[in-house]
Amino acid sequence: MNTIGLFGVLAGSAVAIAFFLSSFFLGLKRREDPQNLWLGLILLAIGLRVGKSIFYFLLNDMAPFGLALGFLGLASIGPLVWMMVRHASGFRLENSWNFIIPVLGSVVCYIVSPSPWETYLYESATILMSIYLGFSWWYLVNSDKSIYNSWNRRILIMATGVLVALAYQHFADSMMDYAWGAIVAAVFLYWVFIQSFRFGVFPKGIAVTLPEQIVNQVRDAFENQKLFKEQGMNLQQFATKLEVPSYLVTRSVKQLYDRSFPETLNHFRVEEIKQMLLDPKKEHLKIESLAYDVGFVYPSAFYAAFKKYTGQTPTTYQKEASLLSA
């Protein structure tokens, strides 16, 4: 096997890892933390872009389709990283404009192939990716330091490394140079795969006896420190603040409250706002403002959670509680 063939095998394995991690985060891990939606989609997008080269050279008859998928992946990486860094809990209509270029560009790429326009489209998508990643770094560096040091930073490092590798490919003068770009991108995918073990992403096959100290630490964080009130709080941020592996946080929460982490987060937020709704000193405040104060980012998420845990709307709850106390 020649060097280019070896690089192809290594890059192909990295693409398989990207798709495996993507399916894992979009499936099992998404139930633990809604933000894993973005992480899964980022890995899928990178897998599509890195896999484009393999697809293009192995299945030349289907090159237009492979190029279109590769463009969709490349142009989507930046917007997806931006969504993740901003701690968006799910896809919302107001975010959809970020994905107009990836979708329309992939269609155009399929139509014009084969054509020199393919190169221009890919170069434009790479520039777009660099702009999004630049803003993402700026936002992350200027955010809370516990967020900066979290899993998000490692994903952003991976995306930036992939960007550098793909940008290098645009200047490649030979097939070997192009292959080097693919292998560098693959190295960053391997790195994230290794990091996922360090961060306790995969469930442990052997039962773990939870240390009492960690269980108490998690309880204190919810009941006394009230970390749930921090905007955009998620499992990884919570674990980072406590300096405890995320899987131990998840198991501690399950043991303490018999709920998943997101459910526990919303439960405590709803309990907090129930008290605020009955406080005469806060009667003049809007309910949405109170929801923001206890950690909810979107009003729709607050109303859905409140209805789930109380069976009532906040206004109905407030009125009925006032009548009972009269």
Q: Is the domain of 43 the same as that of 176?
A: yes
State the pLDDT at residue 7: 60
Among 100, 78, 86, CA closest to 35: 86
Beta carbons of 178 and 172 less than 8 angstroms apart:
yes
Q: Is the domain of 194 the same as that of 235?
A: no
Cα separation, 48 vs 211, in Å, equals 41
Q: Is the domain of 225 the same as that of 194?
A: no
pLDDT over 90 at 130, yes or no = yes
Q: Is the domain of 48 the same as that of 182?
A: yes
Q: Is the domain of 289 the same as that of 180?
A: no
Q: Is the domain of 219 the same as that of 179?
A: no
pLDDT over 70 at 203, yes or no = no
pLDDT over 80 at 23, yes or no = yes
Beta carbons of 265 and 237 less than 8 angstroms apart:
no
What are 266-301's pLDDT values in tens digits?
A: 999 999 988 888 877 877 788 888 888 888 888 888
pLDDT-derived band at 129, boundaries 50, 70, 90: very high
Greater pLDDT, 256 or 186: 256
State mean pLDDT over 15-27: 82
Q: Is the domain of 171 the same as that of 47?
A: yes
State the pLDDT at residue 146: 47
Q: Is the domain of 145 the same as that of 57?
A: yes
Look up residue 88 and give its amino acid.
Answer: A
Structural domain containing residue 9:
3-198
What's the token pair of residue 171?
A: 């200047």
What's the token pair of residue 280?
A: 């005469």
pLDDT over 70 at 57, yes or no = no
What is the count of structural domains for the chain?
2
pLDDT over 60 at 116, yes or no = yes
Greater pLDDT, 147 or 144: 144
What are 259-273's pLDDT values in tens digits?
A: 888 899 999 999 998
State the pLDDT at residue 59: 54
In a domain, 207, yes or no: no
What are 308-322's pLDDT values in tens digits?
A: 888 888 888 878 766
- Separate counts of helices (H) and strands (E) for the chain: 15, 0
Q: Is the domain of 39 the same as that of 187?
A: yes
State the pLDDT at residue 207: 47
State the pLDDT at residue 8: 62
Q: Is the domain of 191 the same as that of 218?
A: no
Cα separation, 154 vs 230, in Å, equals 22
In a domain, 204, yes or no: no
Q: Is the domain of 151 the same as that of 177?
A: yes
pLDDT over 70 at 254, yes or no = yes
In a domain, 205, yes or no: no
What CATH number is associated with residue 173?
1.20.1070.10
